[in-house]
Copies of this chain bind each other. A is one copy, B any other.
Amino acid sequence: MDGSSFMDMALTEAEAAGGRGEVPVGAIVVNSASGQVIARAGNRVEETRDPTAHAEMLAIRAAVTELVGNPLGRALSGHDLYVTLEPCPMCAQAIAFAHIGRLYYGAGDPKGGGVEHGPRIFAQRSCHHRPDIYPGIGEKRAGALLRDFFEALR
């Protein structure tokens, strides 16, 4: 599978989240070398009433559980994260702590993003790990999903 197939999987998670009444965001953790998908998740903030239950946090926590004793090093070293929306500051900092190697995301989020917007977490001097960042993959579909969702709420 290539990068756009992984983003398709993240988009499928996003659509499923939307179907549950969640803001439609999905995320996938992939082993960089083997291409094995380690974890996948969609937003569960409404269902759990837990404001930290963003797709990226759930995917990271599931992947960590899967990889206890990751031979590659710290938490998620050697793994990539695909997410349909630019991560917020909370998720961006979690991605740094987890030592994710590459971050692929779909749509930018001028209002709530923390990578290319707002606090730009990875550009902070206090940020000790910065993934390689690939924005814009699957952007159109991810953006359309979010637009449709918020329009339906009006």
Say yes or no for A19: interface residue by CB 8 A criterion: no
* Distance, CA A93 to CA B65, complexed state (A): 23
Q: How far is the CA of A57 from the CA of B67 in the complex (A)?
A: 21
A contact residues vs B (CB 8 Å cutoff):
48-52, 57, 60-61, 64-65, 67-70, 74-75, 88-94, 97-99, 111-114, 117-121, 124-127
The CA-CA distance from A111 to B128 in the complex, in Å, is 10
CB A118 to nearest CB in B, in angstroms, measures 4
Let me know if A93 and B75 touch, CB within 8 A.
no
Contact between A52 and B88, CB atoms less than 8 A apart: no
| From A60, A113, A121, A127, residue with most partner B Cβ within 10 Å | A121
In the complex, are the beta carbons of A97 and B61 less than 8 A apart?
no
Contact with A119, one of B75, B89, B94 (Cβ below 8 angstroms): B89
Q: Which of B68, B74, B97, B112 sits near A52, CB closer than 8 Å?
A: B97
- In the complex, what residues of B have CB within 8 A of residue A48's CB? 64
> How far is A119 from B70 in the complex, measured between Cα atoms in Å?
30
**23 A-B residue contacts at CB 8 Å?**
A49-B70, A49-B75, A50-B61, A50-B64, A50-B75, A51-B64, A52-B57, A52-B98, A88-B93, A89-B90, A89-B92, A89-B119, A89-B121, A90-B93, A90-B97, A93-B93, A113-B126, A114-B119, A114-B126, A118-B125, A118-B126, A119-B119, A119-B124
Residues of B within 8 A of A124 (CB): 89, 118-119
Contact indicator B65/A60 (Cβ below 8 Å): no
